[in-house]
Each structure stands twice: as structure tokens, then as C-alpha cells.
Amino acid sequence: MRRTGNLFEKIPTRDNLRLAFSRAIRGKRDRRDVRAFGQDLDRNLSELARSMLAESLTLGQAVEFTIVDPKQRVITAPCFRERVLHHAILNVCEPVFETFLIDDTYACRVGKGRIRALSRAVTYCRRFSHATKIDMRQYFASIPHERLQELLEKRFKDRRLLRLFENIIGSHSSSTGHGLPIGSLTSQHFANFYLAWFDRYVKETLRVRGYLRYMDDCILWSDSPSSITAITDACRRFLEEELRLEIRPKPPRFRVRCGVDLLGCRVFPDRIQLNRHSQSRYRARLRDLDMAFLRGELAELELQQRSEALTAFTMAGGVQSWKCRQRVLEGLPVSGHGARTG
């Protein structure tokens, strides 16, 4: 396998760091740390470049907070300086990661995403009769640093770049020698790259024709329950032995005509619907917004904007959710998102 070199020296260049800064500030211009960094931009970027070249970066400054929707997760948001660093690295290295990914990997990629993954799942549901979902247990928290570094060395040969990767990876751990922080740009690409080796095993060794992955959600299709069993067993062995990951003990199986659960939806051969969990979340979040409006905590315009954003998610990609939305809206305490009912 050919490795790529001569990348490190492109990262600390003035033009690349300025591009990284412009990408890092998107949606964050009003934050105090962003303004402070930008007020003395040339000095801060020069200092960042010097630290990279001297390999003296101190990493790991981050803010942690917990979200509970759609499930409880600890988010680790790096400081702004490290956000700029991550963008600078990915400006140069993302094409190398990208060329290793198969077409049917949809997370964190330009031109891919959730909607295209759902559309592709419909195509596979039309071709095959059975499916299974392989889900890694606490995926980000369980990625072993040493194994990830070994696989990175199979794609990159610049030793300074590999030491920079090692510094970033080692700046966070969920347990000794394991874990990538959720909320970091580099983590998304490292995690996507790590399971790309599984993608290639599924497609090139097992020769599975129906397969897609969205980060650690992996769906495999086949025409018989027996082949699903054999595929699942082989996948479990590869993930445990080669990637040192654990999958949930009883991966769910689906008869395609009854729908396949993926990304908050139920995918059928002829349609996509919200699954029950997404319907419940939609109802609960709209009700929370309406109650905040009735308590005077939200203006009517903000209520409408946030409600429209929630509703747009339920409709994206041709998801059939009209009946669900009607039931939810009829039960809300605010009619038309701006007037009290009753």
C-alpha cells in the first residue's frame, strides 16, 4: 500500500493557517476567545507555526459538556487555537483520508451525508430481503490509540506528521490508551478512517454487495438469514481481532419489507419514515419550545425559527412524516407556533 509523504511542511504555512482560521471561525465570530485570537491574528498564527515546526505544541485544552439528545454524550470542544490547528491539518490531509474511504461511507464527507445515506439504503432495500445493523459499543471512547497510530502509519510516511497525530491522539483518553474526543474535527476523520479498514474487509474480503456505513452505524444487506449470520460472525471476529472493538452482543436483524432502522428513520423499499424514537423526540422538543414560549422565555420569531428547523429535519431527504407532524402539532399548547390553543 503506497504511503503519502511530504505533507507536514504544508501545514504551518501562512496561507494554510489563514485558511484554517477562516474555517474555524464559521458560526463562532461572536465568541470572546475567537475575537481575542483574531485581534492579534498574525502573531497567533506565527506562534502556532513555530510550535508545530519545533514540535512543542501543548494540546488538550478543551471544554467538556454533556448532551442528552438523541442520547447522552460527553462533548469535548477544543480551545479555539486547537480548532485552527485541526483545520490546518485537515486542509492538507483530508484528501489522503478521503481516497481511502469507499463510496458507501457517508459521515463527515463533502457530497455525502445523512440524506444520501438514506437514499442509498432505499436502493439496497429494493435489492435484498434481509439486513442487519452492526453498532460499535461506545465507539469513540473505545478506539485504541496504539492501533489507530499503526494504521495511520500505513497511509502516511512523514514522521513529523505522524508525531503530530500521536500528540493529538494522546491528548485525550476515555480510559488508559483509548478514546477520541467527540466534538473535535480531527476525531471525526480519525474515527472515520479507523473503520475504513472494516469497510474494505466487508467489501473486498467478504464481498458483501449491500453495505453502507455512517460513522459507526453499519448496515449489511443479504438475501437470506443464514448468510446474515455468517457475515455478522465474520465481522465480529475482524472488529475484535484487527480493530480491537466490541459490537453489541445481538445485532438487530430486519426483514426489509418491514423496514430497516437507520439514522432516526425506518427505511423501506418504497419509502422512508421517521422511526418511533425520532417521532417521540420531535414531539418532546416541540413541546419544550412551546412551553418556553408560554413562559415568556422565547420570542415568537425564535419559536417559529427553531420549530421550522426541527420540522425540516423530519422532512429532509423525502422522509414521509406528514401524518406524524399533524398529530404532533394538533397536540401542542401553541397553535401555529405563536398563538395559545384553547
CB 45 within 8 A of CB 60: no
Residue 107 has pLDDT above 70, yes or no: yes
C-alpha cell at 126: 429494493
Nearest 5°: phi and psi at 281? -65, -40
Residue-level pLDDT at 335:
52
pLDDT at residue 70, as a whole number: 67
Mean pLDDT across 259-263 = 94
Task: Assess whether pLDDT exceeds 70 at residue 163.
Answer: yes
Report whether pLDDT(336) > 60: no
Average pLDDT over residues 86-112: 96
Half-sphere exposure at residue 194, Cβ-oriented, CA atoms within 13 angstroms = 29
Grid cell at residue 3: 504511503
Mean pLDDT across 69-77: 80
Per-residue pLDDT at 211 exceeds 80: yes
Confidence check: pLDDT of 206 > 60: yes
Q: Tell me what pLDDT residue 233 has.
A: 95
Interatomic CA distance for residues 191 and 166, integer angstroms: 14
Residue bearing the bigger pLDDT, 2 or 12: 12
Q: Strand locations in 161-204, DSSP E?
A: none
Residue 338 pLDDT grade (very low, low, confident, very high; cuts 50, 70, 90): very low
Inform me whether the pLDDT recorded for 55 exceeds 50: yes
> Which of 130-144, 202-216, 247-261, 284-298 comes out lowest in average pLDDT?
284-298
DSSP string, 65-132: EEE-SSS-EEEEEE-HHHHHHHHHHHHHHHHHHHHHS-TTB-TT-TT-SHHHHHHHHHHHHHH-SEEE
Query: What mean pLDDT do residues 6-20 have?
Result: 97
Q: Is the pLDDT of residue 342 over 60?
A: no
The distance in angstroms from the start CA to the end CA of the chain is 68
Q: Specify the pTM.
A: 0.89
Q: For residue 331, what pLDDT band results from cuts at 50, 70 and 90? A: confident
pLDDT at 314: 83
Q: Please give the Cα distance from 63 to 229 (Å, whole number).
A: 43
Q: What is the mean pLDDT of residues 75-93?
A: 95
User: What is the identity of the amino acid at 28?
Assistant: K
Q: Does the pLDDT of residue 300 top 50, yes or no?
A: yes
